[in-house]
């Protein structure tokens, strides 16, 4: 039993355990999703969301820089990393497809978080978004909700004058003002926007709740991925976790202590689905009877 399974067991959490390295991965089936529901409540006001997802703004992703930095290379659909993310996305997508039966609220909203900085949240967010967007019948909206330390724009090599913070701060800013289409037809983006000293309050505002509710309800076929700050460093990830249907807790293998994982899992106890993803592992893992070879961390 891995450290992660122990941590989950101790904390009484349920979900799936996924292990990924950038080089290797395994998924272990655990119990089915928790019955608990989100603690966020409130009436839905659709007045400011009428233009949702009708953006004409387009950005071009710097694919070369992405590939050079070790992300999924769209010219190499057969790479090991691409294969790993096919495995990682499957249980998340299955939860969305079965959500009418399994009772997961806002199952198409997925938060990528971790306990500490540098565990691989942004790496996972971008690769997961690319992997899902490459499916013919799926659309992805990738949102940089790490508003204190945004990095998605930099990694993708794009610029936007306005992002999530501007939308939350100003009622006059609409969804279409912040929504960016990309040159990957099924992928849209929302950047974090400017730094704001009350960003935590903005993320916990009614306007943010309405945004989450509306994007989930109206666009059931669209998968929304939120990149977030570390859970144990800022309160923002915990706030965001209450808005989404599924949470992926990224854990840096051989680095993050079990006590830290336990603390994070406890903070996520209100979430419908918590999936743990063991990142940066080095050992050889057997997936479905196949041995996947290992390189060093960072060698793809």
Ligand X SMILES: Nc1ncnc2c1ncn2[C@@H]1O[C@H](COP(=O)(O)OP(=O)(O)OP(=O)(O)O)[C@@H](O)[C@H]1O
Per CB under 5 A, residues contacting Mg ion are: 121-122, 151
- Within 231-290, which residues bind ligand X (CB under 6 A)? 279-280
149 scored as a contact of ligand X (CB under 6 A): yes
154 scored as a contact of ligand X (CB under 6 A): no
295 binds, among Mg ion, ligand X, none (CB under 5 to 8 A by kind): none
Q: 214 or 227, CB closer to Mg ion?
A: 227
Q: 151 or 174, CB closer to Mg ion?
A: 151
Q: 51 or 69, CB closer to ligand X?
A: 69
Phi, psi of 273 (to 5 degrees): -130, 125
122 scored as a contact of ligand X (CB under 6 A): yes
Q: 98 or 118, CB closer to ligand X?
A: 118
Q: 113 or 261, CB closer to Mg ion?
A: 113
Q: 227 or 272, CB closer to Mg ion?
A: 227
Q: 91 or 120, CB closer to Mg ion?
A: 120
- Within 101-120, which residues bind ligand X (CB under 6 A)? 114, 117-120
21 scored as a contact of ligand X (CB under 6 A): yes
Q: 95 or 150, CB closer to Mg ion?
A: 150
Other beta carbons less than 10 A from residue 172's beta carbon: 9
30 binds, among Mg ion, ligand X, none (CB under 5 to 8 A by kind): none
- Would you say 105 and 245 are in contact if contact means Cβ atoms under 8 Å apart? yes
124-148 CB burial, b ≥16 within 10 A, e <16? bbbbbbbbbbbeeebbbbbbbbbbe
Minimum separation from the CB atom of position 133 to ligand X (A) = 18
199 scored as a contact of ligand X (CB under 6 A): no
Q: Which of 146, 166, 169, 213 binds ligand X (CB under 6 A)?
A: 146
- What DSSP string describes the chain? --HHHHHHHHHT--S-EEEE-SS-EEEE--S-------S-------GGGTTTT----EE---HHHHHHTTSPPTT-TTSHHHHHHHHHHHHHHHHHHTHHHH--TTTTEEEEEESSTTSSHHHHHHHHHHHHHTSTT-EEEEEE---SS--HHHHHT---S--HHHHHH-TT--HHHH-EEESSTTEEEE---S--TTHHHHHTSHHHHHHHHHHHHHTTTEEEEEE---TTT-SHHHHHHTT-SEEEEEEETTTS-HHHHHHHHHHTTT-SEEEEEEES--S-EEETTEEEP---TT--
150 scored as a contact of ligand X (CB under 6 A): no
Residue 28 structure tokens: 């272990």
89 scored as a contact of ligand X (CB under 6 A): no
70 binds, among ligand X, Mg ion, none (CB under 5 to 8 A by kind): ligand X
Minimum separation from the CB atom of position 151 to Mg ion (A) = 5
144 scored as a contact of ligand X (CB under 6 A): no
98 scored as a contact of ligand X (CB under 6 A): no
Residue 58 structure tokens: 């387009």
Which residue's beta carbon is nearest to the bound Mg ion? 122
Binding site for ligand X (CB under 6 A): 21-22, 69-70, 114, 117-123, 146, 149, 151, 230, 279-280, 297-298
């Amino acid at each position: 039993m891995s450290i992660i399974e122990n941590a989950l067991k101790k904390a009484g959490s349920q979900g799936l355990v996924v292990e990924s390295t950038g080089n290797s991965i395994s998924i272990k089936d655990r119990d089915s999703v928790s019955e608990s529901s989100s603690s966020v409540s409130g009436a839905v006001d659709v007045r400011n969301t009428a233009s949702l997802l009708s953006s004409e703004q387009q950005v071009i992703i710097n694919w070369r820089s992405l590939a050079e930095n070790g992300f999924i290379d769209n010219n190499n659909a057969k790479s090991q990393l691409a294969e790993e993310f096919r495995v990682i996305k499957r249980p998340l997508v299955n939860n969305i497809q079965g959500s009418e039966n399994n009772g997961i609220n806002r199952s198409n909203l997925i938060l990528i978080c971790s306990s500490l900085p540098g565990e691989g949240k942004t790496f996972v967010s971008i690769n997961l978004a690319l992997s899902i967007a490459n499916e013919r019948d799926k659309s992805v909206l990738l949102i940089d909700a790490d508003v204190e330390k945004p990095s998605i724009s930099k990694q993708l090599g794009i610029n936007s004058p306005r992002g999530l913070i501007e939308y939350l701060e100003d009622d006059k800013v609409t969804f279409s003002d912040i929504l960016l289409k990309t040159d990957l037809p099924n992928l849209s983006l929302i950047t974090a926007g400017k730094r704001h000293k009350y960003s935590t309050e903005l993320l916990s505002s009614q306007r943010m709740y309405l945004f989450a509710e509306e994007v989930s309800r109206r666009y059931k076929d669209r998968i929304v991925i939120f990149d977030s700050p570390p859970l144990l460093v800022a309160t923002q990830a915990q706030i965001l976790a209450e808005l989404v249907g599924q949470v992926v807790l990224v854990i840096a293998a051989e680095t993050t202590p079990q006590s830290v994982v336990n603390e994070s899992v406890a903070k996520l106890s209100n979430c419908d689905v918590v999936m743990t993803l063991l990142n940066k592992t080095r050992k050889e893992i057997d997936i479905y009877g196949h041995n996947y070879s290992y390189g060093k961390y960072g060698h793809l």
